Structure 1
Amino acid sequence: MSPEDLPDEELVALCQNGEGRYFEVLVRRYMEKAFRIALDFTHNTEEAKDLSQDAFLRAFSRIKQFDGRSSFYTWFYRLVVNLCLDHTRRKGRVVWERLEREADNPSDSVELADNTSMPDEEAIAGEAKRRADLTLKAMPNKHRTAFLLRNHQGLSISDIAKVMKTTEGTVRVYLHRAVAALRQSLVEFV
């Protein structure tokens, strides 16, 4: 049996017993998913690459602390999300300052052109995307995290609850609030 065919639990056990080369299989298995989560949070390819690499370095250095109470997948996703949240908090001041500037100076914001004969669909789509991005960035981290894990990563509510270390009911509340905030910010585009 090739290492690629081994389940996560066996690969982790081998790594915990000093066989670090098996961690490469876990990296190949989860690199794309880690990158996509980081990209959802950062919207920046380079930052997403850095964060996903940092997540693997942190997972490798902490692999002996993994106790198997959850799956490796859940443990690793939690690590990636925590790194992304920390990164977002560090950059939070910049985001809030930009949001405040846009609120204080609406003329600096992108505005839709007044084209009464035929609306420019690209401009409308661009404005809707910009508004959705701003709404996602402005919502509480827990709401944004649940929304991104569900809608961008396709995780089940049960998996999101494990990653976020909360109940499924709480995840449903976070998702409801995130969707409500997005719906409210995009009401004129529907």
Structure 2
Amino acid sequence: MKTTGILENSKALTDLEIIARVQAGERALYEIIMRRYNQRLYRVTRAILHDDTEAEDVMQDAYVRAYTHLSQFAGRSAFSTWLTRIAVHEALTRLRSRNRHPQVDVTEYDGEISMKMPGTSSNPEYNASAAQLREFLEEAVLNLPESYRTVIMLRDIEELSTAETAEALDLTEENVKVRLHRGHGMIRSWLFERIGTKAKEAFPFMGIRCDRVVENVFDRLEKLAAANPQIQ
């Protein structure tokens, strides 16, 4: 789906403006929402599922569910928080369906999606060092238990507030603070002290997968609309 012009003007639109226009029939604008939050949903669903393919599937389920329930968004919280809660719910449902919690094994990661962004420095030694630090961060976070991993992903990587994280995960703010503190305790303190601004460069949602999620969601929405005329 080619919506270059729409995306170029996306920064001028708030989430609420986009939602209103989508509900009014401009379905193509939903791509802006997906492009805007693909990174966050990928990070939080992968933190829960520890599987790239399942995370992508869950993201698509979450976007479709959110679209078909836009009328239920009451605006009591930020739309991004509401969307994140849907993604978390979908991921936890998928996790429970396995009938067990996954065992973390970083050797199983096949590198299909590079979780390392290329450095901006022309110094190869610097780039190698930065990539190694990001690699350590990713491994440290992914080895945390799921309950701590999701909190750290939202608070430290996505930089949500304690209140936003609590709402997204259906926890109390106190629980978020406790899990964050304990999660940090599980990760060697020097890791977070040295990673600095490189933290947000970890866990990227790369372009090809981002495009695929957008295309697949729109395909599913078109089929839903064909089967149910009430869905625009």
TM-score range, shorter-chain basis? 0.5 to 0.7
Compare CA radii of gyration and give the structure with the larger one: 1
Q: Who is 1:155 aligned against?
A: 160
Q: 2:24 — aligned with what? A: 17
> Once the 2 structures are TM-superposed, how far is the Cα of residue 154 of structure 1 from its aligned partner?
2.6
Q: Which sits farther off after the overlay, 48-57 or 160-169?
A: 160-169
Structure 2: runs of 5 or more not aligned:
106-134, 190-232
Paired AA for residue 158 in structure 2: Q
Maintained 8 Å contact 2:49/2:55: yes
Q: Contact conserved, 2:45 with 2:59, CA < 8 A, in 1?
A: yes
Deviation digits for residues 102-153 of structure 1, max 9, x if unmatched?
xxxxxxxxxxxxxxxxxxxxxxx99xx48x745414xxx4x44323322333
Aligned pairs (5 A) from 1:51-130? 51-93=58-100, 95=102, 129=139
Q: Helix, strand or coil: the match of 1:85? A: helix
Kindly indicate whether the alpha-carbon contact (under 8 Å) linking 1:40 and 1:152 is maintained by their aligned counterparts in 2.
Answer: no
1:145–1:94: structure 2 CA closer, same or farther, 3 Å change rule? closer
* TM-score, structure 1 as length reference: 0.65
Structure 1, 50-59 or 28-37: larger mean CA deviation: 28-37
> Is 2:169 the counterpart of 1:136?
no
Question: In 2, Cα distance between the equivalents of 1:28 and 1:68?
Answer: 21
**What is the distance in 1 between the residues matched to 2:72 and 2:26?**
15
1:74-122 Cα deviation digits (max 9, x unpaired): 11111111111112222242637x99xxxxxxxxxxxxxxxxxxxxxxx
2:200 is aligned to none
Q: Shift of the alpha carbon at 1:43?
A: 2.6
Structure possessing the higher relative contact order (Cα contacts under 8 Å, 6 or more residues apart): 2
Q: Number of residue pairs matched?
A: 154
- Percentage of pairs with the same residue: 32
Q: Distance in 2 between matches of 1:83 and 1:34?
A: 11
Shift in alpha-carbon separation, 1:15–1:90, aligned structure 2, 3 A: same
Query: C-alpha displacement at 1:165, in angstroms?
Result: 3.6
2:40: which partner in 1?
33
Whether the aligned pair in 1 keeps the contact of 2:47 and 2:142 (CA below 8 Å) is no
Moved over 4 A (4+): 132-135
In structure 1, what residue type is equivalent to 2:173?
E
Cα distance, 1:12 vs structure 2: 1.0
